[in-house]
Amino acid sequence: MRIPYVVDNETHRLADVLNAVLAEHGGRALDVATAYFNVQGFRLLKDGLLGLGSFRLLLGDEPSEGAEVGLRFRAASALRGELNAAPYSEELLRAVEELIAFLRRPNVAVRAYQGGFLHAKAYLFYGDPPAVGRDRLQPVAPSSAPAT
């Protein structure tokens, strides 16, 4: 899989790129650091995430003040508002239940970064299957396609 040089969510969508990498990554490990993770994102990546050998998610802690990041609301409030604004459907309810079940799996770990506001995104894929008693040892770097 060749990863585009720039993922701009117009020409190259992040969900499409991640799904292509995840399709070739079954049984192996993925670490993600991001500001937030929501139900819609999980729905877009669910099949690939379920096939992982392990998944670690580092989430940014909510900023203590909106001025820290130029926002007037907190992340949890935004997520709550997103769910409240979404039209109720059995599909949405099922996705919420699937996300909760996924996050409770023994091979999934979620932590909050509390050293300040974390907005950067990092996706670290590993070539070796997860094993008890050792950390990830073989990071992989899928090749990037040249800018077009």
For residue 32, list its beta bridge partners. 57, 123
Q: Which residues of the chain have pLDDT under 50?
A: 66-75, 147-148
Are the C-beta atoms of residues 34 and 8 closer than 8 Å to each other?
no
**CA 82/CA 73 separation, integer angstroms:** 12
Q: What digits encode the pLDDT tens for the residues 15-46? A: 999 999 999 989 999 999 988 788 888 999 99
pTM for the model stands at 0.74
Nearest residue to 55 via CA among 120, 148, 129:
129
All structural domains of the chain with their residue ranges = 28-124
What is the reported pLDDT for 76?
Answer: 52
| Joined tokens for residue 112 | 């909050």
| Joined tokens for residue 95 | 């996705």
